C-alpha cells in the first residue's frame, strides 16, 4: 500500500498508478465526509511567489476545512527571496514554523530546491513551466468522476503545450492508463520533446497537429489551456498565439456528444462563456475538485490519514497483462484465451512476435521490447521497475540463452513484486477462465 507520510509531492514522474488511485480514493472520502479535526494542531504554509488564485485558495480552504492553521506569503517582492535569500534557507526557516510547505515559484526545479532545505513535506503548487502535480491529481479526479474510468480514454490537449505545466504533468500521469493523446498547438508551442520521450518510453500513443479539426471528432476529453503570457519575452509573439483556438458551440458541434471540456483556469478568451452551461463543460467542477484532492494530499503527507481497508479503486483501473509466448503452436492454442482477456477489459502488452501475431488476429495490444534489447524502448524492464504489470504470462519455447536471461530476470522481478507469473498454457487457460468469471 502506498505510503505518503513525509513525502514531497514534486512531480507526477514520481507517482505510480497505485499512488494515483490511492489519492483518488482518499479524495473521494474527503469529498463525502467531513474531517474537521484531522489536521488539528498542524500548520500549513503556503508560499506563492507567482500569481495564483485557485491553487492557493483551494489549498488554504482544504487546510482549514480539516482543522489546520495556515500561514501564507504571496509575491516574491514581499518576501526575503526578493532580498536574495536561497530557497534552501527559506525552507530551513519556514520548515521550523510549519508542518507542510506548499510553494508556487516561477522557476522549473524550484520545488526540489525547496525540498532540499527541509525534512518537512513540500508540495509543488507549480514550478514555472515544469510540473503542477496537484492540478494533475484534481484533473484525474475530475476525469474519473466524469467518465467513470481513467483507462483507454482519448484525450486532446489544445493551446500552449510548450509552457503549460498542467499539460506536462497530466500527460505524464496518464501513461499508466493506456490513453491515446492528441496534441494540438502551433509549432512554436508544441509539446516539448522531453515529455514526448517520457510517453514514448511508456508506449503511449500520441498524435500532433496544428489543426483542432483534425482531432476534435475523436476525443473523449478536450483539455484546453491558456497561452502562458508570463513565459513570453516578446509580447508580439504572445499576441500571435493567444487566441489561436477558441472553443465554443461550433467546436461542440464537431465533437463527440459526450465530450468533456476541461481547463485548469484561468481562461482568457479561449473558451466562450456560451458553453458554460452545457453538460460538456466541466471546468468549474474541475476547479472545485481542488479542495477534496488537496485535503487528501495534506492528510496523507502529514500521516494523519491512512486507508484502513486495502480495497483500491480496483474496478476503476484496467489491469495490465504482459504476454510473451514462445512457440507458434502455443500462440495459436492460447488465442481464444487471450481474446477473452481483451474482451473482459485487460490491457495487453506483448513482445515483438506475440505482438505481431495478436495484431494479425485482430487483438489490440502494445509492443514492448525485451529486457535483453537494452536501451530499446518501451522496454519490459522499465515496466517491471515501475510495477506496471498485474499478471505476466510467459510461455518459454525452450531454453535459448536469450530466453533464459529474459525469463529469469522477469521471473525474479515478478516474485519480488508478487506479480502472478504463469508459464504454462493450461494454467493460463484456467486463470483466464477465473478472471472472466470475476469480471
Ligand atoms: C494553471 C497554472 O498555474 O499552471 N492554473 C492553475 O493552477 N489552476 C494554468 C494557468 O495558469 O494557465
Phi, psi of 37 (to 5 degrees): -115, 10
Q: For ligand 1, atom 1, name the residue with the nearest CA.
A: 264
Give phi and psi for 26, each to the nearest 5.
-65, -40
Q: For residue 313, is it within any domain?
A: no
pLDDT, tens only, 251-296: 999 999 999 999 999 999 999 999 999 999 999 999 999 999 999 9
Residue 132 falls in the annotated catalytic set: yes
Ligand 1 atom at minimum distance from 135 CA: 7
Q: What is the pTM of this model?
A: 0.82
Question: For ligand 1, what atom is nearest to the CA of residue 166?
Answer: 4
Read off the pLDDT of residues 382-400 as tens digits, 9 standing for 90 and up. Answer: 888 877 898 999 998 766 6
Are 93 and 216 in the same domain?
A: no
Write the CATH number for 219. 3.40.50.1370
Known catalytic residue at 54: yes
Residues of the chain falling short of pLDDT 70: 76-83, 309-318, 398-404, 438-439
Picking from 41, 112, 30, the residue whose alpha carbon sits closest to that of residue 299 is 30
- Among 17, 25, 104, 388, the active-site one is 104
Q: Are residues 145 and 237 in the same domain?
A: yes
Least Cα distance to 352 among 371, 367, 331, 373 occurs for 367
- Residue where the block lists cell 465533437: 255
- Give CA–CA dist 59/65, Å, rounded: 10
Q: Is 55 labeled as catalytic in the residue annotation?
A: yes
Range of the domain at 24: 12-132+291-301
Number of separate domains in the chain: 3
Instruction: Specify if 62 maps to a domain.
Output: yes
Q: Would you call 330 helix, strand, or coil by DSSP? A: helix
Does residue 49 form part of some domain?
A: yes
Please check whether residues 113 and 160 belong to one and the same domain. no
329-359 pLDDT tens trace: 999 999 999 999 988 878 999 999 999 999 9
Amino acid at each position: 500500500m502506498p505510503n505518503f507520510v513525509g513525502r514531497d509531492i514534486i512531480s507526477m514522474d514520481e507517482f505510480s498508478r497505485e499512488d494515483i488511485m490511492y489519492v483518488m480514493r482518499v479524495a473521494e472520502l474527503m469529498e463525502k465526509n467531513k474531517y474537521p479535526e484531522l489536521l488539528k494542531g498542524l500548520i500549513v504554509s503556503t508560499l506563492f511567489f507567482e500569481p495564483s488564485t485557485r491553487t492557493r485558495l483551494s489549498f488554504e480552504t482544504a487546510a482549514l476545512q480539516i482543522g489546520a492553521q495556515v500561514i501564507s506569503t504571496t509575491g516574491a517582492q514581499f518576501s526575503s527571496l526578493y532580498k536574495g535569500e536561497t530557497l534552501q534557507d527559506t525552507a530551513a526557516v519556514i520548515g521550523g514554523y510549519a508542518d507542510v510547505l506548499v510553494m508556487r515559484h516561477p522557476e522549473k526545479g524550484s520545488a526540489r530546491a525547496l525540498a532540499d532545505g527541509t525534512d518537512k513535506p513540500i508540495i509543488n503548487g507549480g514550478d514555472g513551466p515544469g510540473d503542477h502535480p496537484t492540478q494533475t491529481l484534481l484533473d484525474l479526479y475530475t476525469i474519473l468522476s466524469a467518465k467513470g474510468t481513467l483507462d483507454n480514454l482519448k484525450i486532446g490537449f489544445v493551446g500552449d503545450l510548450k509552457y503549460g505545466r498542467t499539460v506536462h504533468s497530466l500527460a505524464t500521469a496518464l501513461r499508466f492508463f493506456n490513453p491515446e493523446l492528441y496534441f494540438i498547438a502551433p509549432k512554436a508551442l508544441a509539446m516539448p520533446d522531453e515529455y514526448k520521450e517520457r510517453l514514448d518510453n511508456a508506449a503511449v500513443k500520441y498524435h500532433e497537429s496544428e489543426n483542432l479539426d483534425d482531432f476534435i471528432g475523436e476525443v473523449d476529453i478536450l483539455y484546453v489551456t491558456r497561452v502562458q503570457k508570463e513565459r513570453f519575452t516578446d509580447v508580439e509573439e504572445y499576441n500571435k498565439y493567444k487566441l489561436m483556438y477558441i472553443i465554443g458551440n461550433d467546436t461542440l458541434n464537431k465533437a463527440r456528444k459526450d465530450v468533456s471540456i476541461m481547463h485548469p483556469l484561468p481562461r482568457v478568451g479561449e473558451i466562450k462563456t456560451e458553453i458554460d452551461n452545457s453538460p460538456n463543460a466541466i471546468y468549474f467542477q474541475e476547479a472545485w475538485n481542488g479542495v477534496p484532492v488537496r485535503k487528501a494530499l495534506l492528510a496523507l503527507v502529514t500521516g494523519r490519514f491512512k486507508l484502513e481497508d486495502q480495497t483500491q479503486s480496483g474496478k476503476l483501473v484496467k489491469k495490465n497483462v504482459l504476454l510473451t509466448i514462445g512457440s507458434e503452436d502455443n500462440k495459436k492454442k492460447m488465442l481464444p484465451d487471450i481474446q477473452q482477456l481483451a474482451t473482459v477489459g485487460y490491457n495487453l502488452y506483448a513482445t515483438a512476435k506475440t505482438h505481431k501475431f495478436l495484431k494479425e488476429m485482430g487483438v489490440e495490444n502494445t509492443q514492448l521490447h525485451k529486457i535483453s534489447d537494452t536501451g530499446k524502448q518501451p522496454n519490459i524492464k522499465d515496466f517491471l521497475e515501475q510495477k506496471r504489470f498485474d499478471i505476466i504470462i510467459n510461455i518459454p519455447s525452450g531454453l535459448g540463452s536469450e530466453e533464459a536471461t529474459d525469463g529469469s530476470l522477469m521471473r525474479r522481478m515478478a516474485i519480488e513484486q508478487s506479480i502472478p507469473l504463469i508459464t504454462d498454457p493450461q494454467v493460463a487457460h484456467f486463470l483466464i477462465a477465473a478472471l472472466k468469471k470475476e469480471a
